[in-house]
Homo-oligomer: A and B are copies of this chain.
């Protein structure tokens, strides 16, 4: 597939041990990092924002990854366009702020002017044979689903419908298309993206490291489901609770159940609906709701929904708010964790919701994770780092690792 000689990397892939984390090179090496970006980040459907960030015609924001800058701009009530932020004349960036409003896209260098659909409208002083139609802005593949704006940097992107299909009912349940961003935060983390995700895909560290998480969730849930369905040892206590809740919730008419990948594919998706601990209705300190009901919910059903659309995105949704994650690789040992907190578009701050309460658990938890991951990265840099045996609570990490290695190997052979 690829022209360079990747035999070393293939050998390295083959030498990884089953129930152990990855070798050092995967977490520190610059050329593996670049291969990763190509193979993973630039080949997945990744959501990078929510439509409510750009409600009016001409509203835009910028998403950046590596040397790429993407303009995400609203052309009309029904249309959002995504363009490479590169002028077709001599390549200047066109939008210089991270967000704003612009009725036309005017290059700040020589004023070539593009419509919101990307078509070149005006260029002064060109030679006679110049054909405006050939010099539209270059589009980036994009889809808006339930208000989530997905990009795909691949030249041959996977079919979006096929991709979203199994996750669709889980997402739709929560009415994100009628949501708005209450707040968002970035947590720059000095760790390789896979080290950052290893952390996200196991809850073995929750007990020693996350008092807030352990206050909200029960020991049994954390053990069996803390990092997603079937990522830790089965808990009979939790199974019983889950069965009861499933029955009750089905009666209420809401979706229950879970989805996992069965066959190896380009996708790494998961979803499940699970109950909170007794008397808790939302993923908050007190367990009490923190905003108004969203989507199809008429009542609090005492459960919540956890979704991974790809390694780079997760959604964790109570009945009254959603927390979304985007993991953006920024360098071999640098990852930004971006979190949005979404509430119903009609909820009003101060009255229906309070930001401090809304963000409490995942803000505290992500600050702690940043510190933990950075300590992990520092240790992994040592010549003496050798992957050690995984615990029974790190099955999620193992799944992710296996998918990663298979995928990379497929790409290289």
Residues on A facing B (Cβ under 8 Å): 19, 21, 67-69, 84-94, 96, 108-111, 123-127, 130, 135, 138, 198, 204-205, 207-209, 233, 372, 375-376, 378-393
Indicate if the CB atoms of B208 and A388 lie closer than 8 Å: no
Indicate if the CB atoms of B87 and A388 lie closer than 8 Å: yes
Q: Which of B87, B92, B127, B390 contacts A392 (CB 8 A)?
A: B127
Inter-chain pairs besides A69-B379, A94-B379, 9 sampled, C-beta below 8 Å: A19-B127, A69-B378, A84-B382, A89-B389, A92-B379, A93-B379, A109-B208, A110-B205, A125-B393
Q: How far is the CB of A332 from chain B (nearest CB, A)?
A: 13
Given contacts A108-B372, A110-B208, contact A198 B90 (CB under 8 A): yes
Chain B residues whose C-beta falls within 8 Å of the C-beta of A382 in the assembled complex: 67-69, 84-86, 91
Give the CA-CA distance A111 to B206 in the complex, in Å.
10
Give the CA-CA distance A108 to B375 in the complex, in Å.
9
Classify the interface of chain A: helix, strand, loop or mixed: loop
Q: How far is the CB of A283 from chain B (nearest CB, A)?
A: 23
Q: Which of B84, B90, B209 contacts A376 (CB 8 A)?
A: B90
Chain B residues whose C-beta falls within 8 Å of the C-beta of A96 in the assembled complex: 375
Q: How far is the CB of A279 from chain B (nearest CB, A)?
A: 28
Write 28 A-B pairs (CB below 8 A) sorted by A numbering: A21-B91, A68-B383, A69-B382, A84-B382, A84-B384, A85-B382, A87-B379, A87-B388, A89-B391, A90-B198, A90-B388, A91-B376, A91-B379, A91-B387, A91-B388, A92-B372, A109-B205, A109-B208, A109-B372, A109-B375, A110-B204, A111-B207, A124-B204, A125-B233, A126-B389, A127-B389, A130-B389, A135-B389
Give the CA-CA distance A375 to B69 in the complex, in Å.
12
Indicate if the CB atoms of A138 and B384 lie closer than 8 Å: yes
Given contacts A110-B208, A205-B109, contact A91 B391 (CB under 8 A): no
Q: Which of B130, B375, B388, B393 contacts A135 (CB 8 A)?
A: B388
Indicate if the CB atoms of A379 and B86 lie closer than 8 Å: yes
Indicate if the CB atoms of A111 and B375 lie closer than 8 Å: no
Q: How far is the CB of A233 from chain B (nearest CB, A)?
A: 7
Chain B residues whose C-beta falls within 8 Å of the C-beta of A209 in the assembled complex: 108-110
Q: Which of B135, B204, B385 contacts A91 (CB 8 A)?
A: B385
Indicate if the CB atoms of B392 and A109 lie closer than 8 Å: no
Give 7 closest A-B pairs by Cβ, nearest first.
A111-B208, A67-B381, A93-B379, A84-B384, A91-B379, A91-B385, A89-B388
Indicate if the CB atoms of A86 and B233 lie closer than 8 Å: no
Indicate if the CB atoms of A208 and B90 lie closer than 8 Å: no
Given contacts A86-B382, A204-B125, A382-B85, contact A391 B110 (CB under 8 A): yes
Chain B residues whose C-beta falls within 8 Å of the C-beta of A127 in the assembled complex: 19, 389, 391-392
Q: How far is the CB of A147 from chain B (nearest CB, A)?
A: 27
Nearest B residue to A127, CB-CB: B392
Give the CA-CA distance A110 to B379 in the complex, in Å.
14
Chain B residues whose C-beta falls within 8 Å of the C-beta of A392 in the assembled complex: 125-127
